[in-house]
Amino acid sequence: MDVDDPPPTAPADSSTTNQAGVGDTTPNAPQLPINSPVTAVPTAPSQPISNNAPGFKYKYPEAAPTPPGEDDIEWNRTYTAADSRFYNKNGKSAQQSRKFRQSGETYQLALQMMEAKKMKSDTTTTGGLGSSGATTKAAVKTKPVKKAQPTTARMEPSTVAVDATLVGGMTPLSISEQIKSEGRARKAPSAAPSSKQGTPAPSSASKLSSPAPSVKPEKPATKKKGTAAPVRRPKKPKTIDKMKFQPGQSNQPSSTNTAGSSDSESNDGGEYCVCRGPDDHRMMVNCEGGCDEWYHCSCINMDVEDAKELLDRYICPTCTTEELFTSWKRMCRYNTVGAYAGFTPCRKAARVTDQPPSKYCSDEHRRAFFEFVGDQLARDDNAPSMGGTLNVNEIRDILVEAPTNAAIQALGKKPRLPIPEGFDPNRPIGLDYVTPEEIEDLKAIDIKKKVIELRIENFKNQQKLLVMIHERAQAAAKHPACEEKTPCGYDNRLAINEYEFGRWMNTAEGKSAFETGKLGPRTSETKSISAAICYPGQAVPTSGEVPDELNNICLKAMKSCIKHRGWRNIHGQDYAAMQAELTKDLEKLTNQANDIIEDAETREATKEYHAHNTVEQLF
């Protein structure tokens, strides 16, 4: 049926008000009431809203609680996008963005973004003032309709023509004239192709005999089979949040979503990884160190397959500590065969958690490993190895003698005696089997160790004396009788040797210094220790009367005292070097004693093995 022919309707009186005009008496005009319902644009089914659902995990704890009436997932995405803004605005500083989250500014910005998103959704759903409900931001894709029957034909009236007639009191127009005047502006052509060849979809509008409209929508250019269709990118809307498109996502409007759908369904607006990029469907790993951040495998130089098969726990560099670090699963042992033979090695995890545990990812690789060892690594001849590569018979004998892994690991080690029940674990069992000569050697080693330990303790006490002399020199610099601001501060008690230091420690002066931690002046009891002996006829040097705080201290300026220059570093390094040298000597003596005890235990453990050996005296 042609649109110019009006549908057959029942005759109406002149008092009936139609949508084409008030009191229209045109005999061919269809009489439609003003209150006739207008076909609304179908909207996408709304998803169930979960507001402050128990157990919901926010990306940032500061995002809780979700505002009333908002969906938890949608609010979490918006809050993450708001945090990303502060992050980028402040030079990509995580500390600054954290401050904004804690101060609540991020929460307020997220609320503003939610309001702007709602306003945008309402505007695109209802359209502008005086516009039809069928005119939306995104063209709604409609299915092609069969040719309408006369009894069910229904034309959608134009709101624009109704408004003009009602307001201006102009002569009402027929439906055909209204459609011609509007130029079919109420029908938006579909931009989506109807086939893989890129041909446009057929229009569902009725055929018109009127001239072409003044403004024609541009049709997408037809493309050849196998070529990509040109896509016109829409202008960026002036909203608070920036629109981001993920790779592989089309920016064409969906046929099932309405204009009220938001961009957060394809991109949550968050920024992840060290690249601060979105979740673009690349493989990502989660940090288990506490920051709960996600990282692209390609950005942290991690193989995707290894992350799937071998990664046990990933810890980012920020969260890495001595106790917390990235750990990997044990790799299949057959990997070494691939690296040796030159083919692709196996990079799967070993079955270490199975019962019994295995070093291989499968029984097939376990058999293949030993087949490779027998065919490629072992020698075919029967010549003895003599410390070189084992032959097949030697490998077989070893596996017979050592059937378990623990027995194989014990090969080449010294035999040990079984520890009897109730035996002291701190006492070596070999002490029960040493010979009298070995007992004398152990006693001599023990005496040497005690002497070295006393010398080490003596040098540690000298280090303490050095600290006390330094503190006394600092106190002397503050004394009113000291003329120099930074005196040398040297004390001749640093010049005594190990034996003289032992004598000084036994005097009242030495005991008082180590008990109180403060060094006093040198007394007459200790002046003879390390004192210079004058030859006959030499004048004995005397010092003037000085306070006790300055007694036995060099009061020359530190820079001008050449004799004692650097005395703190020289004596400190000397004491440390002597302790290190004596510690090495002590370790040597300890190892020597342990070797004697272990040899005695080995001799007892192998006594039956050498029982058949005999000694024959030839002369």
CATH code of the domain containing 292 = 3.30.40.10
Count of domains observed in the chain: 4
Verify that 468 and 593 share a domain, yes or no: yes
Verify that 438 and 587 share a domain, yes or no: yes
Last residue of a domain, one of 93, 122, 151: 122
What are the C-alpha distances in Å from 437 to residues 275, 322, 354, 434, 595? 72, 48, 53, 8, 14
- Angle between the 508-516 and 498-505 helix axes, to the nearest 10 degrees? 80
Q: What span, in angstroms and rounded, lies between the C-alpha atoms of 23 and 567?
A: 119
Verify that 324 and 339 share a domain, yes or no: no
Q: Is residue 501 part of a domain?
A: yes
Tokens of 129: 């003032």
Q: What span, in angstroms and rounded, lies between the C-alpha atoms of 541 and 595?
A: 58
Sign of CA dihedral 204, 207, 213, 218: positive
Verify that 520 and 497 share a domain, yes or no: yes
CA angle 160, 161, 165 (to 5 degrees): 120
Q: Is residue 109 part of a domain?
A: yes
Give the pLDDT score at 387: 74
Q: Is the peptide bond before 65 cis (omega within 30 degrees of 0)?
A: yes
Q: Is residue 185 part of a domain?
A: no
Q: What span, in angstroms and rounded, lies between the C-alpha atoms of 116 and 240?
A: 7
Give the pLDDT score at 268: 53
Q: Is residue 576 part of a domain?
A: yes
Give the pLDDT score at 165: 40
Tokens 């640093």, located at residue = 494
Q: Is residue 173 part of a domain?
A: no
Residues contacting residue 547 through CB under 8 Å, at least 6 positions apart:
479, 481
Verify that 479 and 360 share a domain, yes or no: no
Q: Is residue 259 part of a domain?
A: no
Last residue of a domain, one of 102, 122, 142: 122
Tokens of 374: 């027998």
Verify that 492 and 590 share a domain, yes or no: yes
Verify that 554 and 459 share a domain, yes or no: yes
Give the pLDDT score at 451: 96
Q: Is residue 247 part of a domain?
A: no
Verify that 451 and 488 share a domain, yes or no: yes
Verify that 315 and 346 share a domain, yes or no: no
Q: Are residues 92 and 83 in contact, defined by beta-carbon separation less than 8 angstroms?
A: no
Secondary structure of the chain: what % helix, strand, coil (to 5)?
A: 35, 5, 60
Closest listed residue to residue 185, CA positions, set 131, 149, 234: 131
Closest listed residue to residue 287, CA positions, set 295, 298, 297: 295
Residues in the chain where the model's pLDDT stays below 50: 1-46, 128-169, 183-217, 219-266
CA angle 587, 593, 599 (to 5 degrees): 130
Verify that 450 and 363 share a domain, yes or no: no
Closest listed residue to residue 30, CA positions, set 49, 13, 45, 9: 9
pLDDT above 90 covers a percentage of the chain that reads: 28
- Give the chain's mean pLDDT: 74
Q: Is residue 275 part of a domain?
A: no
Helices (H) and strands (E) in the chain, counts: 14, 4
Question: Which range marks the domain in which residue 100 is found?
Answer: 50-122
Closest listed residue to residue 93, CA positions, set 367, 276, 348: 276
Residue 110: burial class (beta carbons within 10 Å; 0-12, 13-18, 19+): buried
Q: Name the residue type at position 473.
A: A
Verify that 475 and 573 share a domain, yes or no: yes
Verify that 468 and 584 share a domain, yes or no: yes
